A and B are shown apart, each in its own frame.
Chain A
Amino acid sequence: EIVLTQSPATLSLSPGERATLSCRASQSVSSYLAWYQQKPGQAPRLLIYDASNRATGIPARFSGSGSGTDFTLTISSLEPEDFAVYYCQQRSNWLGTFGQGTKVEIK
């Protein structure tokens, strides 16, 4: 089973700051890594697929990078609506494991 470990658990930042979130896989997932944003009471929203491709309608301030076992989601300048929980997910096999999430909170 592929385990995804996200860090940090919580990121306390101010609007306008840069956010850098990490996701590490226990074995290579190639580029089959996605990032989701979830706000309280809402379903997850796909942000990034295949490590670095923005989903439809996602602002350019969101970017993803990495391959193999180490991945990064970067939010270049936090907007008020970006404070949420972010999850990574791998789809290199059919057991679509998620990371445990990183909460981006207002400092």
Chain B
Amino acid sequence: EMQVVESGGGLVQPGGSLTLSCAASGFSVTSNYISWVRQAPGKGLEWVSIIYGNGDTYSIDSLKGRFTLSRDTSKNTVYLQLNSLRAEDTAVYFCARGSYGSFDPWGQGTLVSVSS
């Protein structure tokens, strides 16, 4: 069974950093792509970034330079490093396996709260 599990969320002060993890099982991150999607409290889904099986990464323009994707193939895990965090980055961050231009399965999400 394919599964992804996020971790690493928490409370961080404005300007701070946090690294989220997305541990994959049942498939390899080297032959699949994984996306991060976030959802601010009471708001809709926002696509954030993607890392392909070959390691190439892409993010929405508004987040480039602050959010960085990486991976550890030995752990079959993808990471999203969040820098220079702002209050508006407060959200549940989901990771999901990509396939046929869609995302499935999704993890349960990890909450990032940016507040002083």
B is a partner of A: no
B contacts, CB < 8 Å to A: none
Interface residue ranges, A against B (CB under 8 Å): none
